[in-house]
Homo-oligomer: A and B are copies of this chain.
Amino acid sequence: MLQATATIRVRYQETDKMGIAYHGNYFTWLEVARIHLLDSIDCPYKKMEKDGYLLPVIHCECIYKSPAKFDDLIDVEVQMPGVGDARLNLIYTLKNQEKLIAKAKTTHAFVDDSGKVVRPPRDFIQKAKAAILRSHSSA
C-alpha cells in the first residue's frame, strides 16, 4: 500500500474563536498530504494538471477525535489502498505525536480539462504500482 506523511503546523489563521482549528481547514491539510504522496511517486500534481488531468474531490469525510490547536505539529498520514480504478480513494490519519486527532477519507475522479471523467493517466498508474511493489519488497 502506498503511504506518505506530511507534517503541518497549525496556523493562527486556521483557528477559530473556539480556540481550535476550524473543522473545514482539515481538508486543506489533507490536500498537503495528498500532494506529498504524489510527489513521493514522482507524479507531482502540478505536472498532472499540465498534462491535462484534474483530480476534483467528489466525496470527503472527516471524524474529529481531539482538537488541533494553534502551533500544533500534526502528522497527516495518507494511504492509497489501491490503484487503477477510475476513482482514487485516499485514507488519512492525523496525529499529534501519539494522540489521534482525526481520521478522514477523500475520493477523487480523474477528469480532463473539459470536466469529462477519464481513465487515470498511464504514467500515474505505472509509478503508483511500481511504488507499491517497492514497498512490499522492502517490507
CB pair B12–A17 under 8 Å, yes or no, is yes
A45-B71, A60-B62, A71-B46 known; A27-B23 Cβ under 8 A: yes
The segment from A51-59, A74-82, A120-128, A131-139 found at the interface with B is A51-59
For chain A, the bracket of interface size reads: 35 or more
By secondary structure, the A interface counts as mixed
A11 at the interface (CB under 8 A from B): yes
Whole-angstrom distance between the alpha carbons of A11 and B8 in the complex? 12
Which among A20, A23, A32, A67 has the greatest number of chain B C-beta atoms within 10 A?
A23
Chain A contacts to B: CB under 8 angstroms: 11-13, 15-20, 22-28, 31-32, 35, 44-46, 49, 54, 56-64, 67, 70-71, 115
